[in-house]
Each structure stands twice: as C-alpha cells, then as structure tokens.
C-alpha cells in the first residue's frame, strides 16, 4: 500500500486552503465569469446554428444576449404584473391572518392554559433566536440574489467576449499541453461543455415543468394569484434540493392567509406530488447522469458552495464538482478521487427504456 509523507500531505492541505481563499476573496470576479461560461455552454448550439445560417459571430453572440435578457424580462414582467394583483388582496390577507392568529391563541389558551400575552412573549423570543441563527440563511439568500442582479452586466460582458473569441480560449488551453495530448484534451473540453450545458438545460426543463404543474394545480384548488405563486415557488428550485423547500414556503403562506377555506392541504399535496414526479421522472429523463456525482458529494457541493459563494455557489458548485471529477478521471494519479466523486447509483431500468424508446423515435 502506498503511503503519503507528512510533507506531501501538508502541501495538499495548503493547496486546498489556498484555493478556498482565492475562491472566497475572488467571488466578485469569479461568480459572474462562471455564470457567463455556464450560459455560454448552454447557448453555444444556438450561436453555432445562427452562424451556419449566415449570421456573423458578433450578431450570433448578440442574439444569445438578447435571449438571456428576454427570459429575464419575461420573469420580471410576470412578477410585476401579478404583484399588482396581489397588492389588491393584501387587506383580505391581513384580516385572514389576524383571524388565524386569534383562533390559534384561543385554542392554545384552552388547551394549555397559556394567556395570549404569554404566547406573544414566547413568539418574540423565538423570532429573536430565529433571526440570529436560521434567519441568516434567508438573509444570505436575499443578498445573494441581489448580488446576481447587480452582476448581470458583468455576466453579459463576459458572455459576449467569451463567445466572440471562443476558439482562441480553446486554442490557448490546447497550447498548454503537449502535441500528443491535444486530441485527448480537446475531447475532455467537449465533454465538460456537454456536461455543463446538459445540467443547466435539465434545470430549466425541470423548472418549466414545475411551473406548469404548480400553476394548473393552484388554479384548480382556488389559490389566489396562482401564476405568481407558481413562479415564486419555482424560481428558488434552480438551487437543487433546498430550493424546493424555500419555494414551497410562499404558496403555503398564501394558502393560510387567503380568504378561501380548505386550500392549505390541497396546496401541500400539489407541492409534494409535483416534486415527486420531477425528482423521479423529469430530472432522470432530462438530466440523466450528466453530472455523474455521488449523492453525498452533491450535498457537499451545495454546502461548500453556500459557504464560499452564497446562493451563486449552490448553483455553480455542482457542475464545478462534476468538472473536477472529469479532470480526475483523465489523470491516472487522480483516479481515486474520480472514483470517490462519481455516482455509484445507476439510472432505473424504466428510465433507460424510455430513453431508448425516445432514441428510436428520433
């Protein structure tokens, strides 16, 4: 069995610490750059198709920017339009919330003989503790989202120049390796690009599916402002796992505070059913094993990403870990790390059968 010296271990540890420091203090520069690269891998087929149709490189790149801005504008327009309708319902929601609070206080007083004044004192203490601990997650998430918005200009600028001279950047990387390894490194770059684009496309398809299911379901059960609630519930799901819980919080509050009775539990059922279908059918079909990350390292990537880059890190570190896995799999000395990172769970047979069926249809 090969042993590792103390000095070698210290070198690896210092390298890891240095990388973390660079990532943390370089956040303002690296986050927009990573988002622009991720969007570039997603829109690369579109830009290539436009250039084959006669568009120049500049105009195909500008078209990609217009697509990004159109998607953002559509989301903002829906939020603003539906938000004005929500403002009209605020007085009813406040009255309903006050009624629920009074009923809850009366039930607690009858059940546990605790006066409403004492209940409010307990609630205030709990809110103070929550603001000091768990509430920091939501404040960090809000500040992270604001940071993404303020960095939009940088993302678009990086996107333009990266897409405009993309062959130059690829050639630069190939010049760093020996001639006999160029073809292999070129294939690795293509695989990394494919993994990144497939992951982001999978997330977008998953979000669109959830948006449709939420909107239809909320409309059927009579939840006020169903379109707005569906959009608010879907947007946080760009962050895997955790985003579904954060997004589901808002429709549940609306269901409790709404004037309609009996809406809360149907909304809970819609959220659960939609997530079950998405996690077990939609995501396996559209994403498959694109990242090929072990479940434990998927969670670790989310945690480390949030600690270093906030919400942006929770979005970016999963494909970043997948890229690290690909690199480790191509370097013999790093094969153990690739083995550690790779997914040990395989797609169910029924998912493979559906993919095969779709392949035949094509």
pLDDT digits (tens, 9 = 90+) for 23-60: 999 988 898 899 898 888 888 888 989 999 889 999 99
Token readout for 316 is 């970016």
| Cβ–Cβ < 8 Å for 309, 316 | yes
pLDDT of residue 292: 76
Please report the sign of the dihedral spanned by the C-alpha atoms of residue 12, residue 33, residue 292, residue 46.
negative
* Three-state SS at 1: coil
b (16+ CB within 10 A) / e for 136-170: eeeeebeebeebbeebeebbbebbbebbeebeeee
> For residue 53, what is the DSSP state?
T
For the question of whether the overall pTM of this predicted structure is more than 0.85, the answer is no
Provide the pLDDT for residue 360: 46
Give the C-alpha separation, 40 to 157, whole Å.
12
64, 47 contact by CB (below 8 A): yes
Which residues of the chain, if any, have pLDDT below 50? 1, 130, 133-135, 360-362
Tokens for 49? 């198709």
What local confidence, expressed as pLDDT, does residue 1 receive?
46
* pLDDT score for 248: 84
Q: Average pLDDT of the chain?
A: 78
Torsion of CA 34, 37, 42, 43, to 10 degrees: 140
A 10 A CB-CB count for 247 gives: 25
What is residue 45's predicted lDDT score, i.e. its pLDDT? 87
In whole angstroms, give the CA distance from residue 203 to residue 212: 14
The token pair at 167 is 């062959």
């Amino acid at each position: 069995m090969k042993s590792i010296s103390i000095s070698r271990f210290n070198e690896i540890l210092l390298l890891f610490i240095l990388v973390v420091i660079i990532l943390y203090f370089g956040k303002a520069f690296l986050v927009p750059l990573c988002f622009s690269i991720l969007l570039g891998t997603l829109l690369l087929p579109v830009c290539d198709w436009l250039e084959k149709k006669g568009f120049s490189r500049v105009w195909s790149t500008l078209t990609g920017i217009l697509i990004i801005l159109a998607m953002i504008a559509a989301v903002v327009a829906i939020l603003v339009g539906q938000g004005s309708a929500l403002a009209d319902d605020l007085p009813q929601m406040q009255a309903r919330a006050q009624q629920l609070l009074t009923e809850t206080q009366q039930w607690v007083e009858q059940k546990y003989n605790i006066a409403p004044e004492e209940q409010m004192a307990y609630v205030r203490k709990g809110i103070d503790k929550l603001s000091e601990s768990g509430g920091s997650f939501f404040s960090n998430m809000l500040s992270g989202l604001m940071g993404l918005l303020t960095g939009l200009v940088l993302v678009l600028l990086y996107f333009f120049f990266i897409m405009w001279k993309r062959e130059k950047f690829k050639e630069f990387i190939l010049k760093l390796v020996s001639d006999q390894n160029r073809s292999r490194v070129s294939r690795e770059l293509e695989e990394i690009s494919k993994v990144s684009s497939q992951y982001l496309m999978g997330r977008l398809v998953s979000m669109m599916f959830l948006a449709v299911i939420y909107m239809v379901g909320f409309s059927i059960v009579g939840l006020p402002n169903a379109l707005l609630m569906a959009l608010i519930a879907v947007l946080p799901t760009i962050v895997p796992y955790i985003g579904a819980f954060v997004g589901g919080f808002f429709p549940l509050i609306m269901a409790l505070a709404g004037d309609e009775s009996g809406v809360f539990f149907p909304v809970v059922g819609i959220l659960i059913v939609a997530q079950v279908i998405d996690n077990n059918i939609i995501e396996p079909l559209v994403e498959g094993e694109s990242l090929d990350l072990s479940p434990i390292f998927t969670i670790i990537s989310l945690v480390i990403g949030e600690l270093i880059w906030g919400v942006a890190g929770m979005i970016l570190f999963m494909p970043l870990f997948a890229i690290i896995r690909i690199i480790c799999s191509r370097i013999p000395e790093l094969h153990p790390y690739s083995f550690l990172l790779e997914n040990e769970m395989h797609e169910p047979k029924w998912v493979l059968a559906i993919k095969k069926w779709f392949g035949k249809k094509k």
